[in-house]
Amino acid sequence: MESTRKKYLLILLLAGILYAGCNGNTIRATESLFRNKLHKLSKTPTVCYFLANAAYYTFRPELALEIIERNLRDFPYERGATDAEYKRARCCENLGDCDGAIRLYTKFLLDHPRDNRYRRIQNRIAKLHIVSKNQ
């Protein structure tokens, strides 16, 4: 009974996020609720990664980076962690932090040498080195 109630609460909260248009304040408030008050729920890591993706896909790189950093610190073994590491580097790149993006992309390649994005990331690093030198 308790598990069913928690699932309905989770669905209701996610629907509320989507209904509210995924604005930054809603994402922050929902993340805070799950991370601080509902941290014992088994789906909390999944919801937090979902919120980081919502910020990322709605072109809020600062907010996405902020949430991704917390997710990787608090839930490093969650299924979405590898993709979050890649998105963290993309956020740095989108924010104009070439050196930070290069560092994070390089770490990603070292940590995940078999990832299917390997070649693409190598190309991004090369381009970022060129941009970095021209700044």
Percent of the chain with pLDDT over 70: 87
Backbone angles phi, psi at 95, to 5 degrees: -85, 0
- Res 64 pLDDT > 80: yes
Say if residues 48 and 64 touch (Cβ distance below 8 Å): no
Are the CB atoms for 58 and 26 separated by under 8 Å?
no
Euclidean distance between the first and final Cα of the chain, in Å?
Answer: 59
Q: Which of 5-14, 35-44, 49-58 has the lowest mean pLDDT?
A: 5-14
Under 8 Å between Cβ of 95 and 65: yes
Q: How far is 51 from 67, CA to CA, in rounded Å?
A: 8
Q: Give the confidence band of 20 by pLDDT, cuts at 50, 70, 90.
A: low
Q: What is the pTM of this model?
A: 0.81
How far apart are alpha carbons 96 and 114 in whole angstroms?
27
Ordered domains of the chain (ranges, CATH) = 2-134 (1.25.40.10)
